[in-house]
Structure 1
Amino acid sequence: MAFLWLIIIGAAAGFLATRIMRIEADVPTTIAVGVLGALIGGLVLRFMIMALGWAAGFVGAVLGALALIWVWQTYFK
């Protein structure tokens, strides 16, 4: 069943992509473009989320440290 969904979503994504890029392609090529594009896009998106997750964690740590220093300087000095 998952394979069928992959083909359906791939066909829809491939159709939209070929229309946006103004490329005339047959149905198997459209499906292949959609499925391969989904695989590539999924990998890139997961990598970006992972990298942004690390960056967000670092930013959060810096902001937390700044807040702690502010509280310490404001209330304990």
Structure 2
Amino acid sequence: MPITALIIIGAAAGFLATRLMRLETDIITTVVIGMAGALIGGLVLRALLAVMGFMAGFAGAVLGALVLIWLWQLYLRK
């Protein structure tokens, strides 16, 4: 996936995930969370991506970002 697409999908997924988790972050953190979530979700949901296409990749990115935010809140923020 080209880096531009990763940044755009990461920004969208990070924005959606931070809003769902009611987390206030700056733009850079939101994009990084989304990109990391896209990597996590992409690894876990690669089979769905092959079957269902782009929307499965976006769903995986959002789910990965949600898991990353949950772990961040659980272990790094007190």
Q: Which is greater in Rg?
A: 1
Q: Which range, TM-score by smaller chain? A: 0.5 to 0.7
Percent of pairs with identical residues = 67
Shift of 1:9: 0.7
Equivalent residue pairs, number: 48
Distance 1:4 1:45 in 2: 21
Shift of 1:12: 0.4
Structure 1: gaps of 5 or more residues: 51-77
Q: How large is the Cα RMSD of the aligned pairs?
A: 1.9
Please name the residue that 1:6 is paired with.
6
Report the structure, 1 or 2, having the larger helix content. Answer: 1
Aligned partner letter, 1:9: I
Q: Residues 1-77 of structure 1 correspond to what in structure 2 (within 5 A)?
A: 2-46=2-46, 49=47
Shift of 1:20: 0.3
Structure 2: gaps of 5 or more residues: 49-78
Distance 1:24 1:33 in 2: 12
Bigger RCO (CA 8 Å, 6+ sep): 2
